[in-house]
Amino acid sequence: MIREQAQSIDLSVPAHQAAEPTAWIEQLQNQLLELEYALIPEGLHVMGQAPTREQRLGTLKVMADAMGLTAAQNATLMEALVDGASEAQLSAQFSTELNASDKAQAETLRQLVRSNRLLGEDHEMQGLMRALDGRYLQPAPGGDLIRNANVLPTGRNLHGLDPFRMPSAFAVRDGMRQADKLLARYQQDHQALPETVAMVLWGTDNLKTEGSPMAQALALMGAAPRFDSYGRLAGAQLIPLAELGRPRIDVVITLSGIFRDLLPMQIRLLAEAAFLAANADEPVEQNFVRQHALAYLAEHEGSTMECAALRVFGNTEGAYGANVNHLIDSSCWENENELGDAFTQRKGFAYGREGRPVRNTSVLQSALASVSLTYQNLDSVELGVTSIDTYFDTLGGISRAVLQAKHQRDGNAAEAPPVFIGDQTQGDGVVRSLTEQVALETRSRMLNPKWHESMLQHGYEGVRQIEAHLTNTMGWSATTGQVQPWVYQQLAQTFVLDPAMRERMAQLNPTASAKVANRLLEATRRQYWQPDAETMSALLRAGEELEDRLEGIQEGLPA
Ligand code: BEZ
Ligand code: MG
């Protein structure tokens, strides 16, 4: 019965019924808990509008959890907190739950009381008006409230980083742990280490974490930053193999335009790390960077080690993005290969130790052909991989480019690389496959009334957000082929085939509603899901009805 129920709601079920299903049942329980614990943003942020009491309660609970306050499990305590109790009142009222002599706990309580007060006030409209008047704004840290309560009050002037101190000592250590997690996850599925990881680096997630993603790239290569006697970033150094305890993994890094603009010293750091690894006098089976660089030199007469060791790629100066998102949005493409080509065209500029971009398709193609997996971090619950079109533009784009580079080298038998997400939004972080990540986001957000009802509260824009999530989901299908068909079936049922929901959405935003239906039809045409005949004809009818409405034709109304 458990098996049947899990199957009926598209949870993953083993193909064969084991005699002893305990392991699977445990897995299922973990899957359900992951869904239950997923954090869900409620609607969009509205400037000048403070969160409701319930929203404040939800946020403060997550903050208290992240701060390690176990007493936060106590519902009455959290209610008292949001209702404005002071630290002294809380300590007195909850003396059994709280430990009066625990200094760290007292500080946590102080932070939570302060956060509750600041969350209830509006500082943003004021801040915006001051900025527009060209007046002074207090500087403040930016980033995720769950990671850092000092982000409050918002409405101040965000400052991001000290470029001489990134990656920080903490990020270097965290980078090693997250890199180990990624390697362990890959080994669990493939019984071997990956030779090459294609990693996407953005600017914002590095700013919010003092450089954890870039430190992960260094850790994979077995490298670390080097600082001068003033503590300023001076370059890269290699961690000795004996200390590293595993081979150096090759890493092809693609940068966002924002990373390129904000972090020029870190670009040179990464390029130097790859160069040092390629030149290290080490056995090639212990150093995949060197192994691949030597192979490139052997195949390309007249090339140099400087060139063969190029591993940092991005747009040229002044250009942003891979344009894969624009192709998907406009539907102006025939074959998935156009998407991979757009990516390599845009991101084919190599950044060497000098930090200046030079187009180098040859090294990029060669490095991409050796990629075992593609990978990007997710840094904040505010955005998932289906919330904005830039995740599939960068990580999806490179995944498709890898498949095409493999086709070119090995012929059509070459397989798509597995795609992984390092979810750093809660706790110690967890590595998920893209398939798992899209399933989790679809269940906890798109299909979840708590999420889509909050979106629909925004009216016109809420419907557009729902349409954008669907389009982004199709962007993942187009670039990776790793979205399960049930995702489309359930989205179709929830937003198009349910007459009441369809009517509501069409009232709020007829254009985006028609786009939702058309995108689902496009997904069938492109073979990302194959609905049964009944679903298909209902979808076609609904799509026509929505189009008619756009053109001003409504059934039952006089012409
Ligand atoms: C970045 O921080 O690099 C970035 C942010 C949003 C979209 C794309 C890139
Ligand atoms: Mg259109």
What is the tens place of the pLDDT at every residue in 441-463?
999 999 999 999 999 999 999 99
Q: Does the C-beta of 202 come closer than 6 Å to ligand 1?
A: yes
Residue 557's pLDDT is what?
53
State which of 158, 199, 204 you would mutate to test the pocket of ligand 1, scoring each by most atoms of that ligand within 8 A of its C-beta: 204
Query: Strand pairing partners for 233?
Result: 227
C-alpha span between 264 and 152 (Å, rounded): 29
Residue 559's pLDDT is what?
46
Rounded to 10°, the helix 510-525/485-492 angle is 150
Gap from CA of 384 to ligand 1 centroid (Å): 13
Structure tokens belonging to residue 36: 């239950």
Residue 556's pLDDT is what?
52
C-alpha span between 130 and 45 (Å, rounded): 20
The ligand 1 atom at the shortest distance from the C-alpha of residue 258 is: 3
Query: First CA to last CA across the chain, in angstroms?
Result: 54
3-state secondary structure 361-429: HHHHHHHHHCCCEEEEEECCCCCCCCCCCHHHHHHHHHHHHHHHHHHHHHCCCCCCCCEEEEECCCCCC
Ligand (nearest to CA of 329): 2
Q: Does the C-beta of 291 come closer than 6 Å to ligand 1?
A: no
The list of the chain residues with pLDDT below 50 reads 559
Q: Does the C-beta of 391 come closer than 6 Å to ligand 1?
A: no
What is the tens place of the pLDDT at every residue in 327-336?
999 999 999 9
Structure tokens belonging to residue 385: 């991989």
Gap from CA of 474 to ligand 2 centroid (Å): 15
| Length reported for the chain | 559
Gap from CA of 542 to ligand 2 centroid (Å): 15
